């Protein structure tokens, strides 16, 4: 049950055109044979000024979860601010023709406060996200 | 104008009933503009010395508040070896052997450093910063 994440970075900033490619198979923490086998995948639209937890910390504490987030806004002045435990990580800006920013990070949700929160700015941002994880604490009805 | 792009592809044939496969490309630009980023550290490789202490990889007071992008890769092939990544002392996660990460970095305060802490001696990190000047 393998999931493969590949990144390709290209740039003409340097004299030699750069092309860096890396891929990884998403594994549970510290293993080579046990793949991450659960996923939370969705799309949300967030009005400007709204802030909420995209991923709360309880699902996957101290594991090797991977989080993907993409801003699909087509306006380059729109952005979502990403924070973890109120600490700024960075901003994902929109862009024309789907060229908006994305990120892919290891997220170990090391304690109860380590939520990943997003705040929408500039206008309504459409955000795609996927969390590959090792398990969630489902809420008892 | 320089053009820098970052493409991610996520694919799985068997995680879901329907095959998962999607790809997206971001054009890296200065904050709130369509102007391409104009500076980079280039691709670096660092072998961390014995003692595996925590290192400051990028210092927040060396960069303006902006739309920087960070690329990291743990080149280890030992599954249990990882780098712990921190931003301003907040632990983001652990980058296990072979894993890579790509994320925006705001550098919005002098204390907003990116620090790495290897779990073992002599681990090698590959890294690159695209800078919003």
Residues A69-100 have pLDDT tens digits of 999 999 999 999 999 988 999 999 999 999 99
Q: Which of B11, B102, B120, B130 to mutate to test the interface with A (most CBs of A within 10 A)?
A: B102
Q: Residue A136: its pLDDT value, please?
A: 72
Nearest to B24 among A2, A84, A98 (CB): A98
Q: Given pLDDT bands bounded at 50, 70 and 90, which one contains residue A111?
A: confident
Name the CATH superfamily for A29-133.
Jelly Rolls (2.60.120.10)
Phi then psi dihedrals of residue A109, to 5 deg: 45, 60
> Above 80 in pLDDT, residue A132?
yes
pTM > 0.90: yes or no: yes
pLDDT higher than threshold 60 for residue A16? yes
Could you give the domains of chain B?
35-131 (2.60.120.10)
pLDDT for residue A138: 65
- Residue whose tokens read 């800078």: B131
Residue B37 reports pLDDT greater than 80: yes
Q: How far is A78 from chain B (nearest CA, A)?
A: 7
Note the pLDDT of residue B96.
95
Burial B4-34 (b: 16+ CB within 10 A, else e): bebebebbbeebeeeebeeebbbbbbbbbee
- What is the C-alpha to C-alpha distance for residues A60 and B81, in angstroms, rounded to an integer? 19
Per-residue pLDDT, B49: 75
The pLDDT-based confidence of B50 (bands split at 50, 70, 90) is low
- The number of C-beta contacts closer than 8 angstroms across A and B is 194
As a whole number of angstroms, the distance between CA A63 and CA A86 comes to: 21
Residues in B touching A64 (Cβ below 8 Å): 93-94, 96, 99
Measure the CA–CA gap between A26 and A24, rounded to whole angstroms.
6
Q: What is the pLDDT of residues A49-71, one digit of tens each?
A: 988 888 765 655 568 899 999 99
State the average pLDDT over residues B9-37. 94
What pLDDT, on a 0 to 100 scale, did the predictor assign at position B27? 96
CB-nearest to A13 from B15, B40, B87 is B40
Q: Is the dihedral of CA A110, B88, B113, B32 positive or negative?
A: positive
How large is the ipTM?
A: 0.95
In SS3 terms, A62-116 reads as CCCEEEEEEECCCCCCCEEEEEECCEEEEEEECCHHHCCCEEEEEECCCCCCCCE
Structural tokens at position A78:
């729109």
Residue in this structure with the two tokens 């929160």, named with its chain if needed:
A117
Residue B93: list chain A partners with CB under 8 A.
64-65, 105-108
Report pLDDT for A60. 56
- Reported as a pLDDT band with limits 50, 70 and 90, residue A43 is very high
pLDDT at B4 over 90: yes
Convert the pLDDT of each residue in B66-120 to its tens digit: 999 999 999 999 999 999 999 999 999 999 999 999 999 998 889 999 999 999 9
- Indicate the pLDDT class of residue B58, thresholds 50, 70 and 90: very high
A43 vs A109: which has the higher pLDDT = A43
Reduce the secondary structure of chain B to three states and give it as a string.
CCCEEEEEEEEECCCCCCCEEEEEEEECECCCCCCECCEECCCEEEECCCCCCCEEEECHHHCCCCCEEEEEEECCCCCCCEEEEEECCEEEEEEECCCEEEEEECCCCCCCCEEEEECCCCCEEEEEEEECC
Chain B closest CA to A16's CA: distance in Å? 11
* Residue A110: predicted pLDDT: 80
Per-residue CA distances from B43 to A1, A16, B9, B27, B73 (Å): 32, 12, 21, 18, 11
Across chain B, mean pLDDT equals 93
């Amino acid at each position: 049950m393998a999931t493969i994440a590949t990144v390709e970075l290209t740039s003409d900033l340097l004299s030699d055109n750069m092309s860096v490619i890396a891929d990884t198979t998403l594994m549970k923490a510290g293993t080579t044979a046990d793949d991450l086998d659960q996923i939370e995948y969705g799309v949300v639209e967030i009005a400007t000024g709204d802030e909420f937890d995209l991923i709360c910390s309880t699902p996957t504490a101290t594991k090797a979860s991977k989080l993907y987030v993409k801003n699909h806004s087509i306006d380059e002045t729109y952005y979502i601010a990403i924070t973890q435990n109120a600490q700024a990580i960075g901003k994902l800006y929109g862009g024309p023709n789907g060229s908006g920013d994305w990120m892919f990070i290891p997220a170990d949700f090391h304690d109860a406060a380590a939520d990943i929160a997003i705040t929408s700015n500039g206008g309504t941002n459409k955000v795609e996200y996927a969390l590959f994880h090792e398990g969630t604490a489902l809420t008892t009805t | 104008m320089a053009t820098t792009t970052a493409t991610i592809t996520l694919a799985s044939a068997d995680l879901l009933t329907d095959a998962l496969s999607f790809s997206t490309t971001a054009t890296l630009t200065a904050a709130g503009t369509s102007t391409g980023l104009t500076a980079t550290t280039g691709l670096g490789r660092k072998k961390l010395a014995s003692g595996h202490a925590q290192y400051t990889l990028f210092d927040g007071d060396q960069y303006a508040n902006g739309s920087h992008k960070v690329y990291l890769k743990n080149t280890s092939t030992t599954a249990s070896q990882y780098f712990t990544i921190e931003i301003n002392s907040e632990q983001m996660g652990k980058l296990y052997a072979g894993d890579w990460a790509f994320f925006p970095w705001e550098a919005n305060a002098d204390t907003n450093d990116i620090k790495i802490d290897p779990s073992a001696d002599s681990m090698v990190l590959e890294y690159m910063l695209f800078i919003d000047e």
